Each structure stands twice: as C-alpha cells, then as structure tokens.
Amino acid sequence: MSNSQPNYEAMFSGVIGKDYDLLKLICPASIEMSRRVGETVATYPPAQNSPLKVVELGGGTGITTLAILSAAGNIELLSIDNEPTMQDQAKHNLKPWVDEGKLSFSGRDALSALQQLPAASVHVVASAYTLHNFPGDYRVRVVEEIFRVLVPGGWLVNGDRYALDDITEHTRSIQKEVGGYFKVLTELNRIDLLEHWIVHLFNDESENHVMRETPALSGLENAGFTSIKLSNRQEVNALVTAVKPGSMAV
C-alpha cells in the first residue's frame, strides 16, 4: 500500500484507533515523523528475492510499525517494546500483518533484544520517539548493538526528539510545545493526559536523557556509522539516518 493513497489517514485511524486520533491532535509532528520513517525504510535498495529485514525499537501501539509495513512491500519486521500494555495493542491492531508472516514481536528491552540477534543480520533498524527515552549510557550501548546487527551498507532510521544545540532556542521550542499541550488537552478536558505529558517532558528534558543534536550525531560516528544526516527538523523533531559502511550485500 502506498502513502499516496487517499485513505492512508483513514487506515491509520481505523487500525490504530483512538490512540492515533489523539496523538494527531496533541503532537501532529510525531505522526508525520512515523510516516517519514516508513517512507525512508522503504527506499532501502531491495535484495533480490529476499525480504527486507527490519528491526523496530519501541513499536508502542503500532503507529510507526504500520507506517513501515504500509510503505514497504516484501518485509520481515521485528517490533521490540518492553511495555506489554503498549505492545498488546500493537499485536491486536496489526494482527493481519502477523498472520501474513510479515510482523513479529519481542517484549524484551531494546538492548537485550538486539544482543540476541546475530551480527550483520538486519538491513534496517528503524525507530520513532523511543531512543530519546533512554538514559544516555544505555543509549550508547544500544547504538553499538544497532551497528553490530546491521549488514554492511545497512541503515539506521530514527525519527525522534533531537534537542537543539542552541539551548535558548531549545527552551523556547519546549515552551511552545507545553503551550500546545495545555491548549489541546484543556479543550478536550483531558487534565489526566496533560499531567502525564508534562511529567514525561521533565524526563525527556533531564540531563541524563536529553538527546542533543551534536553529541547524538557524534555518538553515531563514534560507533562507526557514516553518511550521518539530520533532516526534516520541525522544532525538536528530526529524522536521523546513518549507514554502516560496506557493500549492500547480505
């Protein structure tokens, strides 16, 4: 299924349900980012007669997972998430793709799930809005494991919160974001969710979690990645792609 189909939006709403509709109101940039992650994954040069092997970190309720599955045809996707209440929704929402043999799940945490995979066995590791949740030292280890499991020529595709290097500008961006949460969630009378989002934001912005652009990209370089690009920045949201050096052959 291609993203250009007019019912793409309706399909997401139908498959993921209320969760998708609410996120679209609270954080439309994140929905757009999942779509971009899916489209980018689908441009990986296809291997002859074998499926595109993709690992997704932090599948949540399945929004990014669906974006990847919708954009790529011949695919084997392993979606990892260590929060069962989230992953159970994805399992329910995306059952048709499981039945087709295109999708499987791991309930382990990202690091130990990656550690279980053989080296050079995955074409693309994709993720949206997950790596920024990791404490910095855990994220470094995850990035090293991503590099290990990728085939030479394999890609990392991560749509996420990349904090701006300019701290004053970053603070302004977060203030604008908080203003948006208050506007949308008070109108919806969802003070419970407002509290949840603000509390979570403190976690994202804390010293040991915040994923600032330049150190994050340097971390990828230190792990061995090349062709590291940050694009599609919209406030704190940006798409990062990186390549494991080597030829594309599996």
If the CB atoms of residues 82 and 232 are measured against ligand SAM, the closer one turns out to be: 82
Quick check: helix, strand or coil at residue 223? helix
If the CB atoms of residues 94 and 128 are measured against ligand SAM, the closer one turns out to be: 128
Q: Is 186 exposed, middle or buried (0-12, 13-18, 19+ CB in 10 A)?
A: exposed
Answer left, alpha or beta for residue 246, where phi above 0 means left and psi between -120 and 50 means alpha.
left
If the CB atoms of residues 89 and 245 are measured against ligand SAM, the closer one turns out to be: 89
CA distance 183 to 189: 10
Q: Is 158 in the site for ligand SAM (CB under 6 A)?
A: no
Q: Is 154 in the site for ligand SAM (CB under 6 A)?
A: no
Identify the CA nearest to 154 among candidates 18, 35, 61, 54. 54
Q: How many amino acids of this chain bind ligand SAM (CB under 6 A)? A: 19
Task: Judge whether 205 and 199 are in contact, CB under 8 Å.
Answer: no
Distances in Å between the alpha carbon of 101 and those of 69, 96, 143, 223?
Answer: 12, 9, 27, 32
CA distance 52 to 138: 27
Q: Is 197 in the site for ligand SAM (CB under 6 A)?
A: no
CA distance 69 to 242: 21
Q: Is 128 in the site for ligand SAM (CB under 6 A)?
A: yes
CA distance 62 to 14: 12
Whole-number minimum distance, CB 244 to ligand SAM, in Å? 21
Contact region for ligand SAM (CB under 6 A) — 76-84, 149-157, 201-209, 239-247?
76-84
Q: Which of 15, 55, 110, 126 binds ligand SAM (CB under 6 A)?
A: 110
Task: Judge whether 127 and 160 are in contact, CB under 8 Å.
Answer: yes
Contact region for ligand SAM (CB under 6 A) — 115-123, 130-138, 172-180, 220-228?
130-138
Q: Is 86 in the site for ligand SAM (CB under 6 A)?
A: yes
What residues between 7 and 66 interact with ligand SAM by CB under 6 A? Answer: 30, 34, 58-60, 63-64
> What pairing do the DSSP bridges indicate for beta strands 52-57 and 75-80?
parallel
Whole-number minimum distance, CB 130 to ligand SAM, in Å? 4
Q: Is 145 in the site for ligand SAM (CB under 6 A)?
A: no
Q: Which of 81, 145, 177, 213 binds ligand SAM (CB under 6 A)?
A: 81
Q: Which of 9, 21, 83, 169 binds ligand SAM (CB under 6 A)?
A: 83
Whole-number minimum distance, CB 245 to ligand SAM, in Å? 26
Identify the CA nearest to 239 among candidates 208, 216, 215, 210. 216
Binding site for ligand SAM (CB under 6 A): 30, 34, 58-60, 63-64, 80-83, 86, 109-110, 128-130, 133-134
